[in-house]
Structure 1
């Protein structure tokens, strides 16, 4: 989705394709704003998904009102705006993660943000710079959950990104009663900190509204945490989960029910009545790395043996995940 914005403004033709998961994900959400800027972009199968053919051409400036809070859509428009004939902007219903805005400005672009609107000036002079890459909080989420749920645990996660547009996982954990201490905080470039995680007695909470875009990838792990916590957790406004690598509302519900959890899916989330004894089961990952990693954590805590079908899909984002997770129990 991001590279589509760059390719739309080039002087050549490109085709973008991917695996079965990529081919099932909706691309109309980036095709629509690019077409409004004069781009020539076609879904080759006519279904609004990859493969895409992009015939590069000069682009026009536009102000796009995005119907979804998506950093991928916003980033696509901003990147295309570098090749437009004037200032280009995108407005979201609520603010999504802002890594692209930070990075583009760091390289020399002129990106400004006001409320939920981000704008970019065309034809920036970009210069290569050294980049310090913080640890991904989406990957850290599994170790945060494991540390909170496993009796007698204390885990230190170093150099984790705590950008306010991405730190929803930490805020939800705090709302559930988590013992998390931030150490060695830094605001150089992307804000980072070391996270000290200690075993905690978690309780239910409500996850909704503007916090959802800051933790959309962490919701499967939050749902698993909620199943082990006392009380009821309600997740809503998260219909975006349906168009990830899998329908994560359906898949999380299916997996937790197999383990004995009391969970009901809703149109935009889940209702989880926690505190029920959970047991091992066979979990289908549906080739979704977030699902596999979330249930791997569950498997270290529940009674009995938990197996994950197609668990190798974690290689998409974290090839050493199982090795790192199981090393903590030694």
Structure 2
């Protein structure tokens, strides 16, 4: 369970009456009715979750709510609110809304999730000579860091049929497998690829040379400490990795022997290690995989079908 402090603090500044009953400002949360007032908030981290939470709260607050970020995070909320009749003010470093508006119903087509597609893109990129098409994937530029990373590592990725759905850019992605090489992933690129860190770490395991992940300290407060969880998982399958406070250094090898891995209840770790199994010479056993259903029911069935196609 994620710590909620970085969301609760600005909500309380708006007047929200919320108490975290779990240790370290974690759920369960007790919420009481309260009158909200808009605020000007400067987030210490680039977080779409924090930004979206405050913008949505701002719809019911008196006055204007503005969120400023140190770097651009995902902007799905800013893109979709106008479809429901809610004006969004785009700022150079964030977004703002004014309370009092009443959303109207709308019919939308939600694009395929790039974070979910990333597991298949990496699996195909690692399989030399393969060709895989993933249709109808959202390619919002605040989310395409994983594509930029894979292309920088040497993967060939083509975007076909680019179009717009629900205010979001969408494309069919075609990836062709060939050898990958290590790169450095940090700064703005890390922000745009933060959710894909586990599967990119798997790609790095089988890339030629060294891959450095930096500026990813927020991953220590996700569903698990993803930096520590991936370092442990990579070592468990025979890989070489150095853990750093804000990331990892992964030393690539062509194949790894496999082993038994703990997911730590984290869906992205579990799915990433399933992808790693395709390049291991022995079996990879991932413990606690029920968590995958939180974001991708049917993942293992689809992964098996893609491997057999």
State the TM bucket, normalised to the shorter chain: over 0.9
User: Which SS does the other structure have where 2:50 is aligned?
Assistant: helix
- Quote the residue 1:287 is aligned against: 265
For 2:40, the equivalent position in structure 1 comes to 63
* Contact preservation (8 Å) 1:260, 1:276: no
> TM-score, structure 1 length as denominator?
0.91
Cross-structure match for 1:230: 208
- How far has the Cα of 1:276 moved from its partner? 5.2
Q: Distance in 2 between matches of 1:212 and 1:124?
A: 35
Match of 2:27 in 1: 50
- Shift in Å, 1:46: 6.0
The one-character-per-residue Cα deviations of 1:117-152 (angstroms, maximum 9, x if unpaired) are 210011113111111111100100000001111133
Q: Where is the strand percentage greater, Structure 1 or Structure 2?
A: 2
Structure 1 equivalent of residue 185 of structure 2:
207
Distance 1:46 1:312 in 2: 24
1:99 counterpart = 2:68: no
Q: 1:101 to 1:313 in 2, by over 3 A?
A: same
Q: Return structure 1 stretches of 4+ with deviation > 4 angstroms.
A: none
- Structure 1: 5+ residue runs without aligned partners? 1-21
Q: What is the CA–CA distance in structure 2 between the aligned matches of 1:41 and 1:125, rounded to whole Å?
A: 24
Residue pair 1:260, 1:277 contacting (<8 A) in 2 also: no
The alpha carbon displacement at 1:167 in A equals 0.7
Do the aligned partners of 1:262 and 1:276 also contact (CA within 8 Å) in 2?
A: no
Contact 2:238/2:259, CA 8 A, preserved across alignment: no
CA RMSD of the aligned region, Å? 1.2
Distance in 2 (CA, whole Å) between partners of 1:102 and 1:277 is 42
- Structure 2: runs of 5+ lacking an equivalent: none
Q: Distance in 2 between matches of 1:249 and 1:90?
A: 28
The number of equivalent residue pairs is: 307
String of CA shifts for 1:172-208, please: whole Å, max 9, x gaps. Answer: 0111111100000113411110000111211011110
CA distance in 1, matches of 2:307, 2:47: 37
TM-score between both structures, scaled by the size of structure 2:
0.97
